[in-house]
Amino acid sequence: MKQIINDLIAQALLELEQAAQIPPDLGHNVQVTPSKEPGQGDYASNIALMLAKSAAMPPRELAQLIADRIAGADAIGRIEVAGPGFINFFLASDASQSVINRILQQGEDFGRSRMGQGSRIQVEFVSANPTGPLHVGHGRGAAYGATLANLLSFVGYDVQREYYVNDAGRQMHILGTSTWLRYLELCGEEIDFPSNGYQGDYVWDIAADLHRENAERFHRPAAQAFADVSADAPAGDKEKHIDDLIDNAHGLLGEDEYGIIFDHALNTLVEVIRTDLHAFGVDFDRWFSERSLNDEGLIETAVTRLQDNGYVYEQGGALWFRSTDFGDEKDRVVRRENGQTTYFASDIAYHMNKFDRGFDKVINVWGADHHGYIARVKASLTALGYTADDLEIHLVQFANLFEKGEKISMSTRSGEFVTLRQLREDVGRDAARFFYVMRKSEHHMDFDLDLAREQSSDNPVYYLQYAHARICSVQRQCSEKGIEASAGPLNLACLDNSHEKALVKHLSLLPERIESAARRREPHLVVNYLRELANHFHSWYNAHQFIVDDAELRDARLALAAAVGQVMRNGLNLLGVGAPEKM
């Protein structure tokens, strides 16, 4: 519809130009937006205001010229000039009401579009270190990424969902060693658990598994594990302390046995994460291992390519990438003095690999604490010869959890955190998914646990679900009473009260609102749309009876209600929220 009006305006401008009523070459950046007020028609354009200056003509006069050219077109019922020079379009009522038939006919496909034209887009999200179960801090990225991927897929992109598993590096060794130490305790050894180790109960679980399957195989005296280990905090350096313990674990167990423990901890946690996410309605097409980058020599390839392109130099025994050439604040080390490549080097290789896989667009969803890495990653892509703009990074701000008005503080290392699983079991999957995406993702948000938990009208997710359940209930009433829609086409023209007109118009907006949400990467726009839809529906419901004696009117109203239900389902489905038939 928007496009039709767009074309009408462009055509009018062309005609005016040819009639020499306006100067040529004004540029036709036509903007048409849905009107907010019913008194301002269905759609409005500010074109006259935009062009008034270059046309050297008062905006209202120009608007009138354009309006006169368009008046009488099909689909347009009425057209008028208003305010400082807006052109308001009132659609012919049959044109707007036809959306009901379209929705019922297209069903779950209503709102789909071909905007993406099948181009390949990758969304990488969550990617939390597998050093513990996911906590509520990861939930927002999971919900945002999953919803964004759903949206992009719905508007015609070929979407791949990926999780980057950080299965290399020091944090993983800390986890492996933490597991081993707990195992030793299960073997009867008495130890002082390192302050910098992972202290959560899940480490005990993994150690217990290990002990069940391997008995005493990895048992070494605690005295040996702690031999020559420097002091722990507060007296000593907790980082040095844990590093010494890791070295001892390697030495005492040998690479093979150490590897068994390490892999067991890693695999268990990846599986825990995968299961939790699945229960949260979030699934991935690929789990990409950081270690595989090294195994396949991709890190070397990336560093060599940077070197060949002349962006690498040596200093202090380390290899540096000159990212400052591309706007980064400082240069970055890719290979340390000790010969090991850095995490950043892995990241370069990973992104190189993403583009080599042929994606047209790559989207990363990161926690806001990673914003400092954007410049260097983009710099590396430019240096490798890729188009850095094809990498989009979206930051998701943290959600502060509130309970009884108090902020809940958390720390992964100490094991004091609310897990995503606990949240889901507490407030339910629907409320959790909904709460995470109802705010703009780049804004800080407060997650009110009491509110999410509440099974009452205060909880916004029920407002939408209730609208859907109400519609289903009406449909149940009909079948119980043996009411069936009469054969033949619907007479939608009898849907003529203000509630019905507003509702019909809102339904017709879904496709463009979905496209807008996808284009802007802002799933919360879908939430806003559905909330408005529910509002229009509830108002209508309260003002009018659907099941009336007049069969023609009843059929039309039931069709409208069914269309609302369909759109609500489609929208909630994108959000990963259920649309219950009863509550």
Partner RNA sequence: GCGCUCGUAGCUCAGUUGGAUAGAGUGUUGGCCUCCGAAGCCAAAGGUCGUGGGUUCGACUCCCGCCGAGCGCGCCA
Contact positions with RNA (CB under 7 A) in 166-185: 166, 168-172
CA 233, CA 485: separation in Å to the nearest integer?
A: 76
Distances (CA, A) of 534 to 127, 502, 529: 35, 12, 9
Q: Is 86 in the site for RNA (CB under 7 A)?
A: yes
Q: Is 102 in the site for RNA (CB under 7 A)?
A: no
Q: From the CB of 129, what's the least distance to RNA, in Å?
A: 5
Closer of 53 and 286 to RNA (Cβ): 53
Q: From the CB of 306, what's the least distance to RNA, in Å?
A: 16
Q: What are the residue ranges of helices labelled H in 215-289?
A: 222-225, 238-279
Q: At what angle do helices 524-543 and 551-575 cross, to 10 degrees?
A: 160
Distance from chain centroid for Cα 286: 17
Distance from chain centroid for Cα 514: 13
Q: Is 53 in the site for RNA (CB under 7 A)?
A: yes
Kindly state the number of chain residues that form the binding site for RNA, as judged by CB under 7 A: 98
Q: Is 543 in the site for RNA (CB under 7 A)?
A: yes
Q: From the CB of 554, what's the least distance to RNA, in Å?
A: 9
Footprint of RNA on 220-239 (CB under 7 A): 239
Q: Is 36 in the site for RNA (CB under 7 A)?
A: yes
Closer of 414 and 455 to RNA (Cβ): 455
Residue in 108, 192, 283, 337 binding RNA, rule: CB under 7 A:
337
Contacts of 431 (CB under 8 A, 6+ apart): 452, 453, 459, 461
Residue in 378, 462, 490, 575 binding RNA, rule: CB under 7 A:
462
Q: Is 26 in the site for RNA (CB under 7 A)?
A: no
Task: Provide the edge-to-edge strand list for the sheet that holds 445-448.
Answer: 406-407, 399-403, 445-448
Residues of 135-152 as b/e, b for ≥16 C-beta within 10 angstroms?
Answer: bbbbbbbbbbbbbbbbbb
Q: From the CB of 367, what's the least distance to RNA, in Å?
A: 8
Q: How many contiguous H segments (helices) and E segments (strands) does the chain have?
A: 21, 15
Q: From the CB of 528, what's the least distance to RNA, in Å?
A: 4
Residue in 3, 105, 387, 457 binding RNA, rule: CB under 7 A:
457
Closer of 195 and 214 to RNA (Cβ): 195
Q: Is 414 in the site for RNA (CB under 7 A)?
A: no
Q: How many CA atoms lie within 13 A of 397 on its CB side?
A: 12
Q: Is 484 in the site for RNA (CB under 7 A)?
A: no
- The continuous run of DSSP H or E covering 285 comes out as none
Distances (CA, A) of 309 to 321, 322, 373, 385, 386: 11, 11, 21, 9, 12
Q: From the CB of 30, what's the least distance to RNA, in Å?
A: 12
Contacts of 21 (CB under 8 A, 6+ apart): 65
Closer of 215 and 547 to RNA (Cβ): 547
Q: Is 583 in the site for RNA (CB under 7 A)?
A: yes
CA 283, CA 275: separation in Å to the nearest integer?
A: 9
Closer of 171 and 214 to RNA (Cβ): 171
- Say if CB 292 and CB 300 are below 8 A apart: no
Residue in 477, 486, 497, 498 binding RNA, rule: CB under 7 A:
477
Question: Backbone phi, then psi, for 535, in 5-degree steps?
Answer: -60, -50
Contacts of 145 (CB under 8 A, 6+ apart): 123, 124, 125, 126, 161, 282, 365
Interface mask toward RNA for 128-167; x: CB under 7 A: -x------------------------------------x-
Per the listing, tokens 């004091």 go with 416
Closer of 115 and 186 to RNA (Cβ): 115
Q: Is 372 in the site for RNA (CB under 7 A)?
A: yes
Residue in 295, 369, 450, 496 binding RNA, rule: CB under 7 A:
369
Q: Is 474 in the site for RNA (CB under 7 A)?
A: yes
Closer of 217 and 413 to RNA (Cβ): 413
Closer of 227 and 548 to RNA (Cβ): 548
Q: Is 105 in the site for RNA (CB under 7 A)?
A: no
Residue in 214, 460, 491, 501 binding RNA, rule: CB under 7 A:
460
Distance from chain centroid for Cα 125: 8
Q: Is 550 in the site for RNA (CB under 7 A)?
A: no
Q: Is 544 in the site for RNA (CB under 7 A)?
A: yes
CA 79, CA 214: separation in Å to the nearest integer?
A: 81
Candidates 17-25, 95-103, 215-223, 536-544 — which segment interacts with RNA by CB under 7 A?
A: 536-544
Candidates 21-29, 269-277, 394-402, 415-423 — which segment interacts with RNA by CB under 7 A?
A: 394-402
Closer of 283 and 313 to RNA (Cβ): 313
Q: What are the residue ranges of helices labelled H in 155-237?
A: 170-186, 201-214, 222-225
- Say if CB 368 and CB 377 are below 8 A apart: no
Footprint of RNA on 311-330 (CB under 7 A): 315-318, 329-330
Q: How many residues does the chain have?
A: 583
- Say if CB 405 and CB 447 are below 8 A apart: no
Residue in 31, 106, 304, 414 binding RNA, rule: CB under 7 A:
31
Closer of 497 and 528 to RNA (Cβ): 528
Q: Is 479 in the site for RNA (CB under 7 A)?
A: no
Q: Is 338 in the site for RNA (CB under 7 A)?
A: yes
Distances (CA, A) of 551 to 101, 483, 560, 582: 18, 9, 14, 26
Q: From the CB of 132, what's the least distance to RNA, in Å?
A: 12
* 3-state class (DSSP) for residue 157: coil
Residue in 101, 289, 397, 573 binding RNA, rule: CB under 7 A:
397
- Say if CB 318 and CB 336 are below 8 A apart: yes
Q: Is 289 in the site for RNA (CB under 7 A)?
A: no
E strand segments, 445-575 = 445-448
